[in-house]
Amino acid sequence: MAAKIRVYTREVDPAGYPEGLAGAVHFACSFDGGEERPFNRGYGILFAAGRVAEDNTILPVRVKDPGIFLMKDGSIGICGERILEDGAADEAASGKLLLWKTRDLIRFEEEQLLPAEEILCYRPADTLEVDQTLAERACRYWSPIVCTGVTFPETIRVSSAEEFGGLQARITYSDGSARPGRIRWEMPQIKFDIPGEYEISGRLTQKRYRFPLAEGYGDPVIFPWEGKWYFISTNDNLNDIGIYVREADEVAGLFAEDAVQHLILPFDPARSLEQTFWAPEFHVIGGELYILFAVSGHVWGPQCHMMKLKKGGRITDAGSWEDPVRVLRADGKPLTEDAITLDMTYIKVQTGSYVIWSYREHIGTPQDTGSMLYIATVDEREPWKLTGTPVLLTRPLYGWENVSGTINNEGPYAFIRDGIVHVTYSGGAANGYTYAVGLLTARVDADLTDLTSWTKSVTPVLTYYSVKGEYGPGHNAFYTDEDGELMISYHAETAIDSHLRCDGIRRVHFRSDGTPYFGMSAAEDVQDTEVHTRLTVAP
């Protein structure tokens, strides 16, 4: 059976798919002349990197007339003309073409800008016939992942209650991945010290949360502490003034109608706490609980701050928190005097402790640099003071990050799995449908201030194409729930023309290759399933 891969750009739709998105390289596959299936739900995959001008602003670009071809070394090449976002010619790319290389149509080498003759000799076209197995794997990777079943042995034999308690179902998914599932058994009076046989049943359930959970709250963080759960966010309903916390015995209770909001950091001109109480995050640093957040004084200009919970203090008690302190450079000076800083997060890996934050110069002027992420080392005994020089980690060069005049890299948050630190961040419009989540990865034993340690995904990992009815998902955080599942919290809008940030939560899935997948909806994940088995208690 013949397999074909087609590359293309899409028509611009100013109201639903603007230039920065439409001008990416899109992929579709077909088998034996059958119906063509788009990769990535029809959203772009390869985005050309914009150019940094002499005044440190970004010139956004897009791709025109993409082609695909087989190279001499056996890899697949994808090429295209680089043009400016408005469709004008890019003089800096005159006589040249962009080139991406791949061997599996899943992972792509960083783009190159090469003389056109080096690529045109391959006679690129919009379609390439490829190995069927390769196409099937790529198609599976870029397709939605859905649950395909739940299995559990029809008979089991155990010799103790502990052995029985460790048994779990196996949940399978369309990409070939699988995970264990906890079963809540309806237990008869089983005596594990006496041999016997029992017919038992149970139910496998997956925690799922409605969307939206709360309306008018951005940048949500869910956090466990001393047997309770806490919710903290930017409070758009109160003009982003003050930091409020909710407390509950379980996560669902944080979003109950009667959930109480505790004001723990109020409007206070005497302490220069007057506006933009933005993106608060809980972090345990050196055994102490901190909230990292941004705030402005009388003059607008958010800056990164931290405040620490006092010994024996309660999270919901305003008096239990020390006064906020502004984050400083190693020389004791503020992070900046003439720009804005916000969205600071904390990471601890084998090589030490780090903070990542968003920085932006000349916002709202023709010299606007866009928000970019910086990273630096800190000492966990004094995390509000950098111990090294800030390093520029990423800035919004891709069309999904720099779209329709919104130039963002912000909202970083990390989790660690299998020796890899994953840092998600957001780009696009923070309260609009183009908001999306990107991904940076590095090894936990790497120096995170060394840019060569990091890999940046050219394709966003969560967009408004990911889950139906959720527009502009982003500024997320992570937590591990009571069942050991990694969960993502995020804000999004309920309609493409809405600008009301609303909160959502769902499970993070991991593909068969171990990479995270953030776009599995509750409907696509495992549903409540009844399980039956014959239990034999053996001597």
> In 3D, which of 106, 102, 40, 22 has the Cα closest to residue 68?
102
Taking 90 as the threshold, does the pLDDT of residue 2 lie above it? Answer: no
Per-residue pLDDT tens over the stretch 105-133? 999 999 999 999 999 999 999 999 999 99
Which two tokens mark 259? 């959930």
Domain 147-206+527-537, CATH among 3.30.70, 1.10.1760, 2.60.40, 2.40.128? 2.60.40
Query: Could you tell me which residues are beta bridge partners of residue 265?
Result: 243
Per-residue pLDDT tens over the stretch 304-344? 999 999 999 999 999 999 999 999 999 999 999 999 999 99
Would you place residue 100 in the very low, low, confident or very high pLDDT band (cuts 50, 70, 90)? Answer: very high
E-assigned strand segments in 249-401:
262-265, 275-285, 288-296, 303-308, 325-326, 340-349, 352-360, 372-379, 382-386, 391-394
Q: State the average pLDDT for the chain.
A: 96
Would you place residue 372 in the very low, low, confident or very high pLDDT band (cuts 50, 70, 90)? Answer: very high
Per-residue pLDDT tens over the stretch 225-258? 999 999 999 999 999 999 999 999 999 999 999 9
Alpha-carbon distance 373 to 375, whole Å?
Answer: 7
Range name among 182-191, 436-445, 470-479 with the lowest pLDDT average: 182-191
> In 3D, which of 398, 399, 351 has the Cα closest to residue 375?
351
- Mean pLDDT computed over 257-268: 97
Identify the CATH number of the domain defined by range 217-517.
2.115.10.20
Taking 70 as the threshold, does the pLDDT of residue 1 lie above it? Answer: no
- Do 44 and 80 contact (CB within 8 A), yes or no? no
Would you place residue 190 in the very low, low, confident or very high pLDDT band (cuts 50, 70, 90)? Answer: confident
Per-residue pLDDT tens over the stretch 447-493? 999 999 999 999 999 999 999 999 999 999 999 999 999 999 999 99
- Mean pLDDT computed over 196-201: 92
User: In the chain, what percentage of residues exceed pLDDT 70?
Assistant: 100
Position 191 scores a pLDDT of 87
Alpha-carbon distance 204 to 483, whole Å?
Answer: 12
Distances (CA, A) of 310 to 224, 318, 320, 348: 17, 10, 5, 22
Per-residue b or e along 176-211, where b marks 16 or more CB atoms closer than 10 Å to that residue's CB: ebebebbbebeeeeeebeeeeeeebebebebbbbeb
Position 187 scores a pLDDT of 77
Indicate the pTM of the whole model: 0.97
The three-state secondary structure class of 64 is strand
Alpha-carbon distance 206 to 209, whole Å?
Answer: 10
What ranges do the domains of the chain cover? 3-141, 147-206+527-537, 217-517
Position 189 scores a pLDDT of 80
Alpha-carbon distance 407 to 434, whole Å?
Answer: 11
The three-state secondary structure class of 287 is coil
Which two tokens mark 319? 């008096």
- Do 325 and 308 contact (CB within 8 A), yes or no? no
